[in-house]
Structure 1
Amino acid sequence: MANTKAIPFNSTPLRGWSFKQGNRSSDAEWLEAGDPPTEVHRDLERHGKAPDYRQDLNELAVRWIGDETWTYRTTFRRPEESQEGLGVKAVLSFEGLDTFASVYLNDELVLASDNMFVQHRVEVTLKAENELEIVFESARLKGLELVKRHPEHRFIVHQTEISRGPVRKAQYHWGWDWGPIIMTCGPTKPITLETYTCRLQGLRVLYELSVDLKRVEGRVQVECEGVEGELYVEMVNNQTGKVEWSTTELQQVSSPTGGATSLYEAPFTLKDDVQLWWPRGYGPQSLYTVNAIARSGHHILHSLTQTTGFRHVELVQTPDSHGQSFYFRLNHVDVFVGGSCWIPLDNDPSRHHPADSSSPSSSSYADWIRLAAEGNQTMVRVWGGGVYEPAAFYAAADALGVLVWQDFLFACANYPAHPAYLASVEREARQNVRRLRHHPSIVVWAGNNEDYQIVERYGLQYDADGDDKTNPEKWLETDFPARYIYEHLLPNVIESETDGVPYHPSSPFGDGKSTVLKVDPTIGDVHQWNVWHGTMEPYQKLPEMGGRFVSEFGMEAYPHLDTLEKCITREEDRYPGSMAMDFRNKAIGHSRRLVSYVAENFRLRQDLEGFAHLTHVMQADAVGGAYQAWRRQWGTKGHRKCGGVLVWQLNDCWPTVSWAVVDYYGVPKPAYYAIKRAMQPIAVGVQRRFRDWTVKPADGALWQRDTSHVDMRSLWEDDVRFDAWVSGNGQEGLCMGKLTVKFISVKTGKQVAEPIEKVGISSQTNECIQLINDARVHIPGKKQDSREPYDPSKSDPFVIYAALHANDGQLISSDCSWPDPIKYLDFSADRAVNIAYSEDKSTAVMTADKPVKGFVFSEVAELAGPLSDNGFDIMPGEKFEIRTTSGFPMDRLKWRYLDMEE
């Protein structure tokens, strides 16, 4: 119905901000600030009041900032339409304040916030001229106050200080084993002034797909606040641009707030082969746009737009011969998930917020998700110690078909559950689930990251099958009250606020009886950290250390040299083990662990470039081998031993040495390409039986077996056994072709045994097919007599090289398996890599006459995108062609391989 006083909805960003140290009464100097989104470290850097903490040891020089109070202010005029008596509402909208914020409008306190993840809207009365001030108190100091205020709770945190436990702020700001301690504060998301007589919110599509997936039925809901106008809703097929459904006949269902906001809904039906949303590699990413419009006559008062997709998702957890399964099924198709874990892009997330015109813009999220997709990754897991990412992140995942595992934001701690904290958590959860629920890419919500590990390690009260399992209120009386959050509050939020999205209590979580400390490979998801952490097993053992779904594992590596030189500015600090390098690696025991793993497998290099290259090769071997082996365990329908693997981690939040497979500047490490090769639509794998050379064997085959700790049999390889297989995904996993397995001498490049050929191979869609199982390689005349001194001339270690060709001769996939450890191999014979560049330098073709291990182009950020491949091995008789599409000439890239002559 028309209203002569009705005006269109208007949202105006508030600009012209300044900031100062201290509270409102402080006499400190006011300095110009960036417009929100911004934060105090960035603003201090602009004025030369703080150094760039990404460089050298500068993190130490900015820690004081997090212990201070900071005040931001701006002034603005009252909009003409919000004059008194016109019935127009004026609302200050704060998308996010970090974290303890007191907001004053014209000297009156209008908002007190203590949760970084919550949005606030405050209806206000304006003057002609208005002053807005926001006082941000130290989250660290406030956290310490809250710990003292709640002596009834046993605060336990891993990773730095206990003060993070009671504070609803991004937990990694307190520092982690891959990131610095940077305690941010400020208006880190947009602040706007809204004026309106009518406002729409809560647009939601609830739906069910028919069993045959050809028909969808559901309801569209929208909340309307203010003037009673006409509501119009339409649904547009993004692929065709056609309006598939529209209506003005929405029924008022309820008035949720009991005030001026009413809920309206209308039923809809789409039939005739509705277009489904699929993950990448399994079908198209079909999307629909829903538009809701409030009109008064011919005037549009407000409109909302939301993009969604129709898909059916299941987290399949059923008993089987291996225990209980754990894998995803979308649109009735089983999907093996290979991807990575995601941390925030920066210690200050506002640097990448789409609303920040000075940031890399929203395209940065699209670029990162595209990087994952181009690396054949099908999932990213948003880790619980970070943030709920901006809409641009999830929209990119929707568009590119990358699945999202979303943790709620709890990590590695025993969190409290007193009433005020629970209320804040529930508000946070409902707001963010409502904001994100329309994204078809989100296929699971998990309650936390590794909090049940705390329960195990510290013996907190938890009985998964106890008498109180149906009485959540009782859990609040234990020393693990957060169970109430993970097993009652959050699943109820998911059930009421989403439609058919699975909930998982934690990552990892099995039956509630074993998680990280007692990895149970038969149930749930696992974090496998007995490589690097824990017992520090050889990474070659990873294939046998998996589970039903491996949601974390990894191996550290340096970034490329170009990245190191950007953050280590002094030439004299650019060597492995310098103070600046050690400071930059936050992992516990990193100096011992990284060097131990490198020295155990390779001949050590002391120069920075050479040592960095060794870490690249090692990380790629560890990660790539694990992906291949665990994808192999995908098996066949009804026998899904492993449902997926997510490496820790995809990205970094600052330039550093870490487990990331892509560095802070978006430059991939060789491990990124190892994942890409392992996750090809059709991928061949070959793996020799691993013999752990670092331990004393139990049998009598080892000379001096009572004193030696090295199994020298790894040198002469008189009993090599290997497997070969081919894996395919749901859409492109069917091929016909030939498998060839060659046994190539590391010394000479010649074949040391007759190759094996299998023709007429037919791989099945979405299955792993075993081609060779436990085959033995016999090398004539090369058996070493263990009763005689070791004779290198009688040892001829060889690479097992497997290549899968299509019937037309085209190479589909290849893989190779080297003897372990690499450091025992003799690379002294002349071996050279020949490189031929195309005329425009966009392509390089590599050949070699002997096996080459770990050929790596040293990539730079200026490449503006990944190469087609990197960090690969070169076999005699094969050509390896690498391309770039950015226009950066490849002959400007440095390159090296293992034991290359300088």
Structure 2
Amino acid sequence: MSTFKSYELSQGWQFREASDDNTPSVWRDVSRVPTVVHLDLLAHGIIRDPFVALNELEVQWIGERDWIYRTEFATPEIREGEKCDIFFEGLDTIATVTLNRAVILKSDNMFIPHRLEVTPRLIPGGVNALEILFESALLCGRERVRQHPEHRFITHQTELGRSSVRKAGYHWGWDWGPILMTAGPWRPVWLEVYTARIEDVWVESEVSADLKSCQGRVKVQVDENVEHRVRVTILFQGETVFESEITANDGVAGCEFQIAEPALWYPHGYGPQNRYEVRARLINEHGVQHEVSKVTGFRRVELVQEKDRHGQSFYFRINGIDVFAGGSCWIPGDNFLPRLTPDKYKKWLELLREGNQNTIRIWGGGIFEPAEFYSTCDELGILVWQDFMFACASYPTYPSFLSSVEEEARANVRRLRHHPSIVIYAGSNEDYQIQEKYNLDYNFETDKDPASWLKSSFPARYIYEYLLPKIVEEESPRTPYHPTSPWGGGKHSADPTIGDIHQWNVWHGAMLPYQDFPKIGGRFVSEFGMEALPHIPTIEQFVQTAEEMYPQSQTMDFHNKASGHERRLGTYILENFQVRPDLQSYIHLSQIVQSEAMRSAYQTWRREWGQDRKCGGVLVWQLNDCWPTTSWAVVDYYLRKKPAFYAIARALSPIAVSISRTHHDWTSGHNTPPKSTDYTLSAVSSHTEPVYATLSLRTISILTGQDLRPQSSYKTTLTPNSTTEITTGTLSLENTDPFVLSATLHIQNQIISRDMAWPQPYKYLSFQNRGLTVKYIPETNVLSVTAEKPVKGLVFEERDGLWLRDNGIDVAPGDEQVIAVRGVHGEADVPRWRYVGDDLV
């Protein structure tokens, strides 16, 4: 039995503002650690909820103050030969820790855990006082800017001093989130008693090219520089597949292993998520002193970057299978991080997989997520693109800053390296765009001297191209590293022929029509997006008064942090749809704009996943929100899905049909209406074996709902893990009703995928008298949807307790769509719905 004992110091804490030194009565109880000061002030009714109305403005004083947290704990039983540590998993951010009035730690990095032996400082048989002073990170950042005039601070998004403080960037405010400068013990605090302890156990392994064997080395780090016996075991489904007893000298032990015919880990949709347990036991003549185990998976990961006719590829190959990375970017799920429970993380990630997404990118302005996040990705087969925590700035490189960055990077790569889901590390987010915008020094081709980079006007290149890749190579050597996102190997960050790109010429930049997405893709699109309002139940949770319930109200405007959001979103709605001023209509139209943009992007770029892999992945900005707001998120803060979520799910189905038609932008100037339209019918498959399918194509009058020509049918074999083009053609637009092209894909006489291509803009079309019928069928718990004429953008209002298999759909006459549903209790409980051109039902 292990002699290691662990006690979480979660109860009995108090807090107060540090300036109240002479007023002992101001100490207030804390319900639980982990916590941050805003949560505790909320609990005591001292502040109003910053997520409601304009209350964010009322709490800015919190970030300018210093705060103290304290607790007392009894000295645990410590036998002869044992010692006691305090382990802080995370302190936010400028922290001084005292134990029994003696300073034991000074920390200025939110991302670094700290372990301190405190045995001699404890009061034998007594009670110990632990106190943590959190100084204002906001004021610290401002002071560091003054202290380092040698550095040219360039920081997008609010505070200039943000780049000098190792605190989550989004806490300082972003164009989708509030300014809420938290402070406190944001991750657990532990007391641990032991004789000897295993610091870490990990595996450096390689799966052979033929996938027939996995070999490598199990490594164990022990806390002391003395000799220890360590028993290493690798288990699969509870059965031992490898075991060895080794000796740890100077704190390190290791042994070689080999597993024949390993059960490999795959992303979901490509194979099972097999995982192994790697266990290390520290033993002596008295038995097991300490035991640590990690759950890992064996897989062969390659980032394929090869010259081709399009430039240079960029995609992932897992266990020899090329994988199209369709997914989302992830921001932290709350401004108050202790509120994110393992269950909440699991719901988010299950939602991702439900939407047929297989990849999530953890953005560099947030945090290194907790273990539960990555373990859930391992379990669900979700690929993780992990940014290091640098975003939208030119970061300094003075010695103490670099030292902190190195400690942070090593600590987190060590913490994460056993997760098979992590397939790439990226050095930063958009920092090379800062270099380009401000013309900072950078010569990729000729300047290869890291020491010279530190003397340039872009010294952070040293972090991204020297320090971080060195750390990844030393700590997790078989994980691909990418200097930043976007990155093109020294070319301009917007070069679509190489690396990854962030495509923001829709919404930002040139504000191109979303219909232009097919023209502006890249080898891997790791950011792009379109805003939409959340559903009305979410808006009702932050708008307090009926007077503010309109699209342009101050509260609605305040809960959208994007610069120029009203002009941009209004433009996209106005260019495409007939606009009505009421809030429900504006919500619906914004959501359809976002959904249409996602359909256009994901369908087109996934179609480019052909034999030449022109596009290797698409990640929308963004999956989620950190507070209730209008943003680019496709699922809002309360996990209410917008129609865009479903549009992505349809486009990323394992087998998906796609019908496209030429978009003619003739709505302004002296352009004339087009006389014909070209179309392409195709299908994509992520299956690794051929699939036999039948595709049908109809041409349907929007005015009458009648077919304008006979239905076409095509029997074909879908190319494995690729795109199959079925047919192309040209249709006249003269002397005919406006029409939709409606495509279906059947396997064994069952429709598994639908798509419809409409003439645009939609504002020129009549959507009256659609003959839409929605019925709830309780026996099978489904909604039956039929229409007499083509319907655009049927959206059911999402609410708590309601789950829909699909939403935001188009409906063709004669094609009943059956949507599985949960949380509907009878016909009267069917959620409210709208479609384009309809009034609220």
What's the TM-score once normalised by structure 1's chain length? 0.90
- The answer for the alignment partner of 1:56 in structure 2 is 53
- Aligned partners of 1:842 and 1:888 also within 8 Å: no
Q: Offset at 1:712?
A: 4.2
| 2:429 counterpart of 1:490 | no
- The answer for the alignment partner of 2:705 in structure 1 is 749
Of the candidates 7, 11, 23, which is equivalent to residue 15 of structure 1?
Answer: 11
- Aligned partners of 2:427 and 2:464 also within 8 Å: yes
Distance of 1:172 and 1:836 partners within structure 2: 44
Of the candidates 712, 730, 737, which is equivalent to residue 776 of structure 1?
Answer: 730
Of the candidates 270, 284, 287, which is equivalent to residue 282 of structure 1?
Answer: 270
Of the candidates 809, 815, 830, which is equivalent to residue 755 of structure 2?
Answer: 815
- The answer for the alignment partner of 2:233 in structure 1 is 234
| 2:456 counterpart of 1:507 | no
Alignment deviations for residues 829-855 of structure 1 (CA, whole Å, 9 cap, x no partner): x22311221125721010000000000
Q: Which has the higher mean CA deviation after the structures are superposed, 431-440 or 9-18?
A: 9-18
| 2:811 counterpart of 1:836 | no
Of the candidates 834, 837, 861, which is equivalent to residue 800 of structure 2?
Answer: 861
Distance of 1:21 and 1:11 partners within structure 2: 27
Of the candidates 82, 85, 92, which is equivalent to residue 86 of structure 2?
Answer: 92
Alignment of 1:246-645 (within 5 A): 246-248=243-245, 250-252=246-248, 254-255=249-250, 262-271=251-260, 273-297=261-285, 299-352=287-340, 361-466=341-446, 468-469=447-448, 471-515=449-493, 519-636=494-611, 639-645=612-618
- The answer for the alignment partner of 1:79 in structure 2 is 76
Of the candidates 58, 65, 70, which is equivalent to residue 68 of structure 1?
Answer: 65
| 2:149 counterpart of 1:146 | no
- Aligned partners of 1:743 and 1:800 also within 8 Å: yes
- The answer for the alignment partner of 2:834 in structure 1 is 896
Of the candidates 28, 31, 48, which is equivalent to residue 31 of structure 1?
Answer: 28
Q: Offset at 1:11?
A: 3.7
Distance of 2:349 and 2:13 partners within structure 1: 33
Q: Offset at 1:694?
A: 4.0
Of the candidates 67, 82, 105, which is equivalent to residue 111 of structure 1?
Answer: 105
- Aligned partners of 1:165 and 1:414 also within 8 Å: yes
Of the candidates 156, 159, 176, which is equivalent to residue 158 of structure 1?
Answer: 156
Q: Offset at 1:901?
A: 3.6
Alignment deviations for residues 542-568 of structure 1 (CA, whole Å, 9 cap, x no partner): 011100000000000011111111111
- The answer for the alignment partner of 1:203 in structure 2 is 201
Q: Which has the higher mean CA deviation after the structures are superposed, 290-299 or 300-309?
A: 290-299
Alignment deviations for residues 9-49 of structure 1 (CA, whole Å, 9 cap, x no partner): 43443520000012583526101113221000000000000
Q: Offset at 1:409?
A: 0.3
Q: Offset at 1:305?
A: 1.3
Alignment deviations for residues 338-387 of structure 1 (CA, whole Å, 9 cap, x no partner): 000000000111111xxxxxxxx312111111110110001000000000
Q: Offset at 1:695?
A: 4.8
Distance of 1:314 and 1:688 partners within structure 2: 36
Distance of 2:771 and 2:540 partners within structure 1: 28
- The answer for the alignment partner of 1:878 in structure 2 is 815
Alignment deviations for residues 772-823 of structure 1 (CA, whole Å, 9 cap, x no partner): 23x11136xx43xxxxxxxxxxx621111111112x3111211111111001
Structure 2's unaligned 5+ residue stretches are none
- Aligned partners of 2:93 and 2:107 also within 8 Å: yes
Q: Offset at 1:756?
A: 2.6
Distance of 2:548 and 2:163 partners within structure 1: 36
Alignment deviations for residues 292-321 of structure 1 (CA, whole Å, 9 cap, x no partner): 112334543211110000001111111100
Q: Which amino acid aligns with 2:783?
A: A
- Aligned partners of 2:333 and 2:624 also within 8 Å: yes
Q: Offset at 1:889?
A: 6.0
Residues 721 and 316 (structure 1 numbering): CA distance in 2 closer, same or farther, change over 3 Å?
same
Residues 855 and 439 (structure 1 numbering): CA distance in 2 closer, same or farther, change over 3 Å?
same
Distance of 1:549 and 1:12 partners within structure 2: 44
Distance of 1:10 and 1:561 partners within structure 2: 46
Q: Which has the higher mean CA deviation after the structures are superposed, 25-34 or 42-51?
A: 25-34
- The answer for the alignment partner of 1:787 in structure 2 is none
- The answer for the alignment partner of 1:358 in structure 2 is none
Distance of 1:853 and 1:13 partners within structure 2: 56
Distance of 2:53 and 2:242 partners within structure 1: 58
Moved over 4 A (4+): 226-229, 885-890
Matched position secondary structure for 2:563:
coil
Alignment deviations for residues 252-291 of structure 1 (CA, whole Å, 9 cap, x no partner): 3x52xxxxxx1111221111x2111001110001000111
- Aligned partners of 2:766 and 2:837 also within 8 Å: no
- The answer for the alignment partner of 1:765 in structure 2 is 720
- Aligned partners of 1:9 and 1:199 also within 8 Å: no
- The answer for the alignment partner of 1:799 in structure 2 is 740
Residues 894 and 556 (structure 1 numbering): CA distance in 2 closer, same or farther, change over 3 Å?
same
Q: Offset at 1:738?
A: 1.8
Distance of 2:618 and 2:608 partners within structure 1: 11
- Aligned partners of 1:841 and 1:889 also within 8 Å: no
Q: Which amino acid aligns with 2:603?
A: Q
Distance of 2:155 and 2:211 partners within structure 1: 46
Q: Which amino acid aligns with 1:504?
A: H
- Aligned partners of 1:76 and 1:131 also within 8 Å: yes
- Aligned partners of 1:160 and 1:176 also within 8 Å: yes
Distance of 2:786 and 2:22 partners within structure 1: 69
Matched position secondary structure for 2:615:
coil
What RMSD in Å do the two structures reach over aligned CA positions? 1.6
- Aligned partners of 1:575 and 1:608 also within 8 Å: yes
Q: Offset at 1:174?
A: 0.6
- Aligned partners of 1:9 and 1:197 also within 8 Å: no
Alignment deviations for residues 844-877 of structure 1 (CA, whole Å, 9 cap, x no partner): 01000000000011011222xx421100000000
Q: Offset at 1:207?
A: 1.1
- The answer for the alignment partner of 1:47 in structure 2 is 44
Distance of 2:632 and 2:603 partners within structure 1: 18
Distance of 2:20 and 2:239 partners within structure 1: 55
Q: Offset at 1:229?
A: 5.3
Q: Offset at 1:144?
A: 0.4
Residues 662 and 190 (structure 1 numbering): CA distance in 2 closer, same or farther, change over 3 Å?
same
Give the aligned length: 833
- The answer for the alignment partner of 2:785 in structure 1 is 846
Identity %: 49
Distance of 1:233 and 1:169 partners within structure 2: 37
Distance of 1:225 and 1:115 partners within structure 2: 23
Alignment deviations for residues 680-729 of structure 1 (CA, whole Å, 9 cap, x no partner): 10111011011112454xxxxxxxx3xxxxx340xxx5311111111000
Q: Offset at 1:483?
A: 0.2
Matched position secondary structure for 1:245:
strand
